[in-house]
Structure 1
């Protein structure tokens, strides 16, 4: 039986996916991508039961990046379709549910590309981020250039990509790479707090907001407004009950 590279746990509308290869600093091999792909397929169909997703990691690091001993190879040592792994990260980014990524320790290269697929990156003070593709002569293929530059701007993305310099947690927050930062030991509580706020909001509203922002990214204002209005989904099925509860406070 294959090792569980990515474990899943569900509770109260929250799905937690945990990178589970701590002895390798959660380095990503093909088996990890296969399991993540299967989780994404299940979550795409679980919009009635899952309203928020957390991606976190076991051990002392979030993810050291790609498993260099298995780059381009499957578990049997055979070549992998080069479109498979970036396609899985794209699938994670396109999930209808909001995705919170919880980072502690190193989040390097492929691990950073994975984190950038989330909607929110939360971190504690131990977090360190880097793009080390250039150290090894690799060129990022899992979305680094596009997602990193959109998150922190082109000049800062160039600096990270062209130097391989690690960025500490407080600088990552200042760059806008990290949305919320907490002291070491406080990450779980911070994640649970944000997840609870998201889950308390209308899932219908959250899913539409995520889809609309994704679909209109890069558009001019007029085109984006036209797309938003053309795909307007209407109010949530429970909006009257929500208003009634508000009025009864």
Structure 2
């Protein structure tokens, strides 16, 4: 895996976001480990820029989002947010960009994932958690409301009663609990987190790029729809998708060869 620098830098000179590439997979690493990867303006700007860049790059198939050091993210840098212009002046939120891009984004949650950090994670396509991961939403406890989609996304992932308890209590849950209730897809040993996440990312990246993107869009659009509407979306997509018979045959033969 090779690293490339983002062009945005934090005020202390350190890049707020590290960008590395592993073939068709781009890894974005929140990079303020001394502040538990608190999300400041520079990081928000860099994250949106790199997500848009990945979405427009035909060589990128999957994005992985993780944190440097021992935390995924403690959330928005509250002292900075309270002392300057509101984030609403910055245009789209990072989570609006996450929901809007066409490429799958996997959150590799390597440690504490709190509040705005948790909202980043639940707006990714899915979460793989380290056994050192910890999730909590403290908005209501300190007098704030979700503003990055957490209250809309979480009930769809874990059900309404569990979401109410999680969001209103602010009580942390560990990675194994997150996997049990459906917040995380898997929980793995900490030292295996990136290896496992990259295996999944490359499996997705090996798929037909247009089919993967169309299926991702179908799944996201159908998740909040009635069954009848979701079936209609699927029928419409199938009617307009133009499969390549030769490519399908080659991909099928390759999969059979790998299994034999």
Structure 1, residues 168-227: CA drift from partner, whole Å, max 9, x if none? 111111111110111221212211221122122222221111111112222222222222
**Counterpart in the other structure of 1:36:** 47
- 1:122 to 2:132 alignment: no
**Counterpart in the other structure of 1:7:** 18
CA shift in 2, pair 1:24/1:190, >3 Å = same
Query: Matches of residues 206-245 of structure 1 in structure 2 within 5 Å?
Result: 206-232=212-238, 233-235=241-243, 238-245=247-254
Q: 1:25 aligns with which of 4, 21, 36?
A: 36
CA distance in 1, matches of 2:256, 2:200: 25
Query: Matches of residues 1-249 of structure 1 in structure 2 within 5 Å?
Result: 2-3=9-10, 4-46=15-57, 48-71=58-81, 77-81=84-88, 84=91, 87-232=93-238, 233-235=241-243, 238-246=247-255
Give the gaps of 5 or more residues in structure 2.
1-7
CA distance in 2, matches of 1:245, 1:166: 44
- SS at 2:28 equivalent: strand
CA distance in 1, matches of 2:244, 2:221: 20
TM-score normalized by the length of structure 2: 0.87
Offset of 1:90 from its aligned partner? 1.5
CA distance in 2, matches of 1:140, 1:154: 15
Alignment length (residue pairs): 244
CA RMSD of aligned residues (A): 1.9
Offset of 1:116 from its aligned partner? 0.7
Offset of 1:79 from its aligned partner? 3.9
CA shift in 2, pair 1:207/1:156, >3 Å = same
Structure ranking higher in helix proportion = 2
8 Å CA contact 2:107, 2:121 repeated in 1: yes
